[in-house]
Each structure stands twice: as structure tokens, then as C-alpha cells.
């Protein structure tokens, strides 16, 4: 069963992401290191003891739709209520609305724990968190007063409605209609698909945030507005009133996260209410809906990235526990084999050790990037105008890495974890397969990982004319130098491996920057995905090693060394793909008969 790695999480927060320094500088008010520890400790306890035990029944029973109502798996309502009563939903929410206003960094660490114990459970509150942020930043005071307190407490839940059958990665194609109503509200008509937690019985009301188009809106993404459409209309006194004309027509049967209802939502079909259309309220300005969405996009992407880190951690723990129990073969070096059994526990085979350590090291690299991204977001919010701009660019740069690399390694680690279980991994009983199935969605939603790579190359590298990414690489070099100067024998050859990895990153970055500057988008995009991985490996390994040095943490140093000496060398091959992969790709693309 999952047990939150509180020490590793605290280490990464303090010594990799930079939280310790921020705390010492008093940037977070009364928050102190021991208070952070206490929060992590209790969140970890709740995650391991209360949430994790309900993951299996969630996977087996799933969410069930009947007559437009979704019933959550047995025990989940009570779990959700207890979780909200613990105040966890309100962790990062604004204090003005009953939240604790804690830093994003801490929120992300807690999110990791909820997701490790059950990704399907954590998803719901993740969407509520997004809705809170959108309303807090962009909604009118009236809307805030009506909705925010209840969303923050978790009494009501939120959703995000972007996707339609013809509009997935490409929101230009959105068709859902909004019409102005004389009373200042709007009427919404249309169909949304794949809406996570679009319908369920955890809360008394569900607050849908829906992207739609006004009749006179310009075409494309400049003509999209954001609306708040509650499942139940809210009375003057804040209590839940009549049903709005929005309902769940079906839920999907899918590979994983079975307890997370994925809904087709129908707005304005005439099923409820006496006037046509679902009643909606505008958030922000007309035709500026996508801009509202973008302000919370980084956070949402980081939150999905945490699912990758979280599943990887859970898969590692499960695989390690199994590897200590299962005995097969005789390991060359087994000293424990005399304990009454001829066979060694498989954890003593070097190949199994390599597998487990690959999982652990990848998890740590992804965690380092993701927490650093959260830290950048906190600094962007807190800093003075000049530093804020710098940190915003940093958050922008790290977001595609935090989303795509973490969720890729989430799938890889879950797959490796399954492998460690041998045949039993393929059997549902162990739970290894469930992690693998759950992990697989994360590279797809919230902007596919392919889209993240494009974003990195086309929009993030050119920030400040390329100066930001160059500055980041300089910082990586400085960290690598500190690693070289550190007197930690556990680090082995880490420093020189880091230097080589950073060289690869720099060369690939220069190459792509010049292609983008020359307007050669196609050439640049051929290498976008390998570049994102190269970038993530170099950055993640450097951050992990730097953190081990800063925190004088010998265990972390051993992980960082394995990462640098065993996994980082991949950057050389990735660099070749980025720089020299284009010709063969375009030549072979003919085989795909693109226009056929």
C-alpha cells in the first residue's frame, strides 16, 4: 500500500525547488519549515490510510450512470466528505474565500500524494481548483460571492468544458453557442464531450465552466467566451434552487481512472427549465474566454504533470515491495539466500535493481522539474514587477516539461513496475496493471504531450528572444559546477555527466532557436518531442544533483548519480534526433501518403 514519501517530498521542496530559501526570506508569512513538515506529514497520512484503500474499489466498480445521475463507488462520498472536512480542498485557495492561501509549491506536493493514492479521486478536486482560480481572477464580484466559498470548502465541485467532438487539440473549431439574454445572463446550447466529473453525487451542486461562441463572435479562438453554468441554479440566499438545463447524457467506458466519470454534457436541450437554453453567466469579457483559460492553463498542466510523478511513485513502491517478497533464481551476490530458501528475492538481481532504480530516478527528475515549476509560479505571484516577469517566463518554460515529461515517465514507470511483477503484473489482483491503465490518460489530456513539445519549441524557447532559455542553461551549468565542487563521494562522476548532458541541451537549443528565428517551423517541429525529453533529462538530473548537494543528502545523491550515469547519457542520442532527424523523417513521411 502507498505510503507518502514525506522526506523525499520535503527534500525536493526545500533544496531543489527553493522553498527553504523562500521561507527564510519570509516570503510566505507565518509559514515555516516545521509547519510545512506537519502539513506534509498529515496529508501523507490521510492519503495513505484513507484514500489509497479506496482506489481498488474505485477501479473495480467505477462511476455508474443511471437516468442521468452518476453514482460514485462505495465509500467515495464519505471519503470525499472527510477529505473536505480536513480542509485539504482549500489548501491553496484564496483566504478571502475561506482558503488557506498556501503556496502552489505546497499544493503541488499535496496533489502528488492524493494522486499517488488514487488518481481518479484526486482528479475531481483538481478541476475544482482550476475553477476556483478562474473565478477568482476573472469573475465579477457577484459570481465570486455566490460560488467561491462553496467551491473552496468543497461543498460544490467545478468542471472544465472545452472539448467537443470536432474540437480537441484545436479549439478554433468550437461550436457550442451562447446567446445574450435581456436580463444580462446568457443561454448556452451545445454538446461537450469527455468532461471529467461532469456529473456525480459527491456534491450538492456542480459548477461547469463552459467555452462557447456568441452569435456575432469573430471566427477562431478570438471568438470564444467563458461561461459559468451551474447544474442547479442558485437562489438569492445561496441555497440550491431549480435544475438548470444541463445534463450528462452518457459516460465513457475507458482504459483507466474508472471512478472518474468522463461525461458527455448536453446544454440547452430543453430537458429542464421552461425557457430554451442552459442559463450561463459570463466570466471575464465577451470573446476573451480563451485568455481566461490561459491564465490557469499553466497550473492545470502542472497539476496533470503531478499525476505522472504520483503514479510513478506509487508504481515504484508497489514494485519494490513485490520484489522483496517474490523469490526466483539465485542472484550472483545474494547473501540472504541462506535464510531458509534456495531462491533469492528478485530484488537482489541486478536487472531488477536497474529497473527499480530507473523508476525511482525518473520519478525524482520529474518531481524536481515539477516542484521547481510550482516555485516559479509562486515567485511570479509574489515577486516585484521585474523579478515577477522573470519568474513568469521560468514557469512558462518549465510547464511543458512538467506536464509532458512527468506524464511520459508516469506511463514508463507504471509499465516497468508491472514488469517487475512478472506475470502477476498482468493480473489485476496486484494493482500494478491498474496504475498502468490510470497513467495512460495523462499524456493525452490537458494538451497532448505532442502539443506540449510544440509549445516548448515554438513559444517557450523564443521568450525574450531566446535569452530566458539561455539564462536557464547558464543556471544549470552553475549548479553542475556546485556539484563538481561538492565533497560528496556518493556523487561519483555525476558532475562530468551533467556537463555533457548540458552541452547536448545547449547545442540542440541553439539549433532549434535558429530554425525558429529563420521561420523554419517544420524543421524545428520534427525534433520537438525528442528535444522535450532531452531538455527534461538534463534539467531534471541537474536539479536532482544540485538538491542533493544543497541538502547534504546522501540518499538523494545516490539517486542523482544513478540518474546522471545511467539515464542521462540518452541525451546524446536525443540530440542527434533533434539536429539530424529531419531529413529521414520527411523522406519516410512519403510512406504515410498524407494526402491519400
Partner 1 sequence: MKILVPVKRVIDHNVKIRVKTDGSGVDLANVKMSMNPFDEIAVEEAIRLKEAGKADEVVVVSIGPAQAQDVLRTALAMGADRAILITVDGTVEPLTVAKLLKGVAENEQPGLVILGKQAIDDDANQTGQMLAALLGWSQATFASRIDLGADRAKVTREVDGGLQVIDVRLPAIMTADLRLNQPRYASLPNIMKAKKKPLEQKTPQDFGVTVEARLRVLRTEEPAVRQGGIKVANTAELFDKLKNEAGVI
State yes or no: residue 450 binds ligand FAD (CB under 6 A).
Answer: yes
How distant is the alpha carbon of residue 380 from its chain centre?
A: 19
The residue within the footprint of ligand FAD, chosen from 445, 472, 535, 562 (CB under 6 A), is 445
Query: Residue 345 forms beta bridges with which residues?
Result: 327
State yes or no: residue 163 binds ligand FAD (CB under 6 A).
Answer: yes
Burial category of 594 from C-beta neighbours within 10 Å (exposed 0-12, middle 13-18, buried 19 and up): exposed
State yes or no: residue 160 binds ligand FAD (CB under 6 A).
Answer: yes
> 12 vs 6, 375, 539, 567, CA distance in Å?
10, 11, 14, 20
Q: Which span (138-146, 410-418, 443-451, 574-582) binds ligand FAD, by CB under 6 A?
A: 443-451
Task: Let me know: does 258 contact 291? Beta carbons within 8 Å.
Answer: no
Choose between 218 and 336: whose C-beta lies nearer to partner 1: 336
State yes or no: residue 94 binds partner 1 (CB under 8 A).
Answer: no
Nearest to 307 by CA among 85, 566, 115, 69: 115
Choose between 86 and 273: whose C-beta lies nearer to partner 1: 86
* Residue 275 DSSP code: S
Contact map string, positions 350 to 389, toward partner 1, x by CB under 8 A: ----------------------------------------
Choose between 199 and 378: whose C-beta lies nearer to ligand FAD: 199
Assigned C-alpha cell, 33: 519549515
Task: Let me know: does 12 contact 368? Beta carbons within 8 Å.
Answer: yes
* Residue 444 touches which of ligand FAD, partner 1, none (Cβ within 5-8 Å per kind): ligand FAD
Q: Give the residue carrying C-alpha cell 534539467.
A: 539
Task: Let me know: does 133 contact 188? Beta carbons within 8 Å.
Answer: no
Strands 246-251, 240-243: pairing is unpaired
Rounded Cα distance between 247 and 166, Å, is 20
Active-site annotation holder among 112, 149, 164, 446: 446
Rounded Cα distance between 360 and 8, Å, is 11
Q: Which span (36-44, 141-149, 168-176, 300-308) binds partner 1, by CB under 8 A?
A: 36-44
Choose between 99 and 124: whose C-beta lies nearer to partner 1: 99
Nearest to 142 by CA among 228, 71, 209, 211: 228
Q: In whole angstroms, how close is the CB of 477 to ligand FAD at the nearest point?
A: 32
State yes or no: residue 340 binds partner 1 (CB under 8 A).
Answer: yes
State whether residue 150 is helix, strand or coil: helix
Query: Residue 161 forms beta bridges with which residues?
Result: 210
* Residue 169 touches which of ligand FAD, partner 1, none (Cβ within 5-8 Å per kind): ligand FAD
State yes or no: residue 38 binds partner 1 (CB under 8 A).
Answer: yes
Q: In whole angstroms, how close is the CB of 557 to partner 1 at the nearest point?
A: 15
State yes or no: residue 444 binds ligand FAD (CB under 6 A).
Answer: yes
State yes or no: residue 267 binds ligand FAD (CB under 6 A).
Answer: no
State yes or no: residue 220 binds ligand FAD (CB under 6 A).
Answer: no
Q: In whole angstroms, how close is the CB of 162 to ligand FAD at the nearest point?
A: 3
- Return left, alpha or beta for 286; rule: phi > 0 is left, psi -120 to 50 is alpha, else beta: beta
State whether residue 82 is helix, strand or coil: helix
State yes or no: residue 232 binds ligand FAD (CB under 6 A).
Answer: no
Contact map string, positions 451 to 490, toward ligand FAD, x by CB under 6 A: x--x------------------------------------
Task: Let me know: does 319 contact 435? Beta carbons within 8 Å.
Answer: no
Nearest to 225 by CA among 251, 193, 190, 183: 190
Choose between 61 and 326: whose C-beta lies nearer to partner 1: 326
The residue within the footprint of partner 1, chosen from 182, 219, 236, 339 (CB under 8 A), is 339
Q: Give the residue carrying C-alpha cell 462511476.
A: 63
Contact map string, positions 168 to 207, toward ligand FAD, x by CB under 6 A: xx------------------------xxx-----------
State yes or no: residue 343 binds partner 1 (CB under 8 A).
Answer: no
Task: Let me know: does 30 contact 81? Beta carbons within 8 Å.
Answer: no
Q: In whole angstroms, how close is the CB of 85 to partner 1 at the nearest point?
A: 7
Nearest to 483 by CA among 499, 472, 468, 467: 499
Task: Let me know: does 435 contact 318? Beta carbons within 8 Å.
Answer: yes
Q: In sequence order, what are the residues at sequence separation of 6 or more whose Cβ sits closer than 8 angstroms to the Cβ of residue 173? A: 164, 166, 167
Q: Give the residue carrying C-alpha cell 520484489.
A: 323
Rounded Cα distance between 371 and 387, Å, is 19
Choose between 90 and 578: whose C-beta lies nearer to partner 1: 90
Contact map string, positions 61 to 90, toward partner 1, x by CB under 8 A: ---------------------x--xxxx-x
The residue within the footprint of partner 1, chosen from 33, 42, 269, 428 (CB under 8 A), is 42
* Residue 335 touches which of partner 1, ligand FAD, none (Cβ within 5-8 Å per kind): none
State whether residue 75 is helix, strand or coil: coil
66 is catalytic: no
State yes or no: residue 106 binds ligand FAD (CB under 6 A).
Answer: no
* Residue 100 touches which of ligand FAD, partner 1, none (Cβ within 5-8 Å per kind): partner 1
Query: Residue 85 forms beta bridges with which residues?
Result: none
State yes or no: residue 322 binds partner 1 (CB under 8 A).
Answer: no
Give one DSSP letter per residue of 382-424, joined into a string. Answer: HS-HHHHHHHHHHHHHHHHIIIIIHHHHHHHHHHHHHHHTTHH
Q: Considering only residues 4-23, where is the footprint of partner 1 by CB under 8 A? A: 7
Choose between 119 and 217: whose C-beta lies nearer to ligand FAD: 119
Choose between 43 and 469: whose C-beta lies nearer to partner 1: 43
Positions in the binding site for ligand FAD (CB under 6 A):
160-163, 168-169, 194-196, 254, 262, 441, 444-445, 448, 450-451, 454
Q: Which residues are catalytic?
A: 446
Positions in the binding site for partner 1 (CB under 8 A):
3, 7, 30, 32, 34-35, 37-39, 42-43, 45-46, 50, 82, 85-88, 90-91, 100, 339-341
Amino acid at each position: 500500500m502507498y505510503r507518502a514519501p514525506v522526506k523525499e517530498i520535503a527534500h525536493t521542496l526545500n533544496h531543489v525547488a527553493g522553498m527553504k530559501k523562500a521561507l527564510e526570506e519570509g516570503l510566505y508569512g507565518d509559514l515555516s519549515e516545521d509547519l510545512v513538515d506537519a502539513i506534509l506529514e498529515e496529508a501523507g497520512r490521510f492519503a495513505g490510510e484513507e484514500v489509497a484503500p479506496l482506489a481498488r474499489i474505485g477501479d473495480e466498480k467505477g462511476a455508474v450512470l443511471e437516468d442521468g445521475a452518476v453514482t460514485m463507488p462505495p465509500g467515495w462520498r464519505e471519503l470525499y466528505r472527510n477529505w473536505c472536512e480536513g480542509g485539504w480542498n482549500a489548501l491553496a485557495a484564496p483566504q478571502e474565500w475561506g482558503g488557506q492561501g498556501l503556496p502552489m509549491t505546497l499544493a503541488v506536493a499535496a496533489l502528488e500524494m492524493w494522486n499517488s493514492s488514487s488518481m481518479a479521486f484526486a482528479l475531481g478536486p483538481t478541476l475544482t481548483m482550476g475553477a476556483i482560480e478562474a473565478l477568482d481572477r476573472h469573475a465579477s464580484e457577484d459570481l465570486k460571492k455566490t460560488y467561491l466559498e462553496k467551491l473552496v470548502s468543497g461543498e460544490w465541485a467545478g468542471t472544465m468544458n472545452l472539448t467537443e467532438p470536432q474540437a480537441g487539440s484545436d479549439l478554433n473549431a468550437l461550436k457550442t453557442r451562447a446567446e445574450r439574454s435581456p436580463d444580462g445572463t446568457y443561454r448556452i446550447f451545445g454538446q461537450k464531450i469527455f468532461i471529467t466529473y461532469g456529473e456525480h453525487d459527491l456534491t450538492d451542486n456542480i459548477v461547469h465552466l463552459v467555452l462557447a461562441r456568441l452569435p456575432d463572435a469573430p471566427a477562431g479562438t478570438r471568438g470564444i467566451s467563458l461561461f459559468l453554468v451551474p447544474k442547479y441554479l442558485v437562489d438569492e440566499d445561496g441555497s440550491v434552487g431549480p435544475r438548470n438545463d444541463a445534463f450528462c447524457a452518457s459516460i465513457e467506458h475507458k482504459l483507466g481512472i474508472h471512478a472518474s466519470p468522463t461525461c458527455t454534457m448536453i446544454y440547452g436541450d430543453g430537458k429542464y427549465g421552461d425557457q430554451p437554453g442552459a442559463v450561463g453567466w459570463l466570466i471575464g469579457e465577451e470573446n476573451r474566454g480563451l485568455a481566461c483559460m490561459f491564465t490557469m492553463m499553466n497550473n492545470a498542466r502542472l497539476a496533470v504533470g503531478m499525476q505522472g510523478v504520483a503514479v510513478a511513485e506509487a508504481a515504484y513502491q508497489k514494485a519494490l515491495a513485490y520484489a522483496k517478497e517474490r523469490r526466483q533464481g539465485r542472484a550472483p551476490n545474494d547473501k540472504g539466500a541462506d535464510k531458509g530458501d534456495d531462491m533469492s528475492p528478485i530484488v537482489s538481481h541486478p536487472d531488477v535493481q536497474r529497473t527499480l532504480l530507473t523508476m525511482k530516478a525518473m520519478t525524482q527528475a520529474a518531481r524536481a522539474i515539477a516542484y521547481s515549476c510550482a516555485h516559479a509560479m509562486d515567485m511570479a505571484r509574489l515577486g516585484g514587477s521585474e523579478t515577477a516577469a522573470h519568474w513568469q517566463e521560468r514557469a512558462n518554460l518549465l510547464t511543458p516539461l512538467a506536464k509532458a515529461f512527468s506524464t511520459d515517465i508516469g506511463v514508463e514507470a507504471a509499465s516497468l513496475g508491472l514488469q517487475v511483477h512478472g506475470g502477476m503484473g498482468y493480473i489485476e489482483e496486484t494493482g500494478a496493471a491498474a496504475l498502468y491503465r490510470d497513467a495512460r490518460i495523462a499524456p493525452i489530456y490537458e494538451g497532448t504531450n505532442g502539443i506540449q513539445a510544440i509549445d516548448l519549441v515554438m513559444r517557450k524557447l523564443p521568450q525574450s528572444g531566446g535569452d530566458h532559455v539561455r539564462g536557464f542553461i547558464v543556471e544549470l551549468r552553475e549548479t553542475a559546477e556546485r556539484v563538481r565542487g561538492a565533497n560528496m563521494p556518493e556523487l561519483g562522476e555525476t558532475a562530468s555527466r551533467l556537463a555533457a548532458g548540458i552541452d547536448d541541451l545547449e547545442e540542440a537549443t541553439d539549433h532549434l532557436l535558429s530554425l525558429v528565428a529563420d521561420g523554419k517551423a517544420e524543421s524545428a517541429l520534427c525534433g520537438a518531442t525528442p528535444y522535450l525529453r532531452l531538455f527534461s533529462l538534463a534539467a531534471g538530473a541537474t536539479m536532482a544533483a544540485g538538491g542533493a548537494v544543497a541538502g547534504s543528502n546522501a540518499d538523494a545523491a545516490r539517486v542523482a548519480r544513478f540518474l546522471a550515469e545511467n539515464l542521462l547519457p540518452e541525451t546524446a542520442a536525443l540530440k542527434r534526433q533533434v539536429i539530424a532527424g529531419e531529413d529521414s523523417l520527411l523522406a519516410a513521411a512519403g510512406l504515410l501518403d498524407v494526402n491519400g
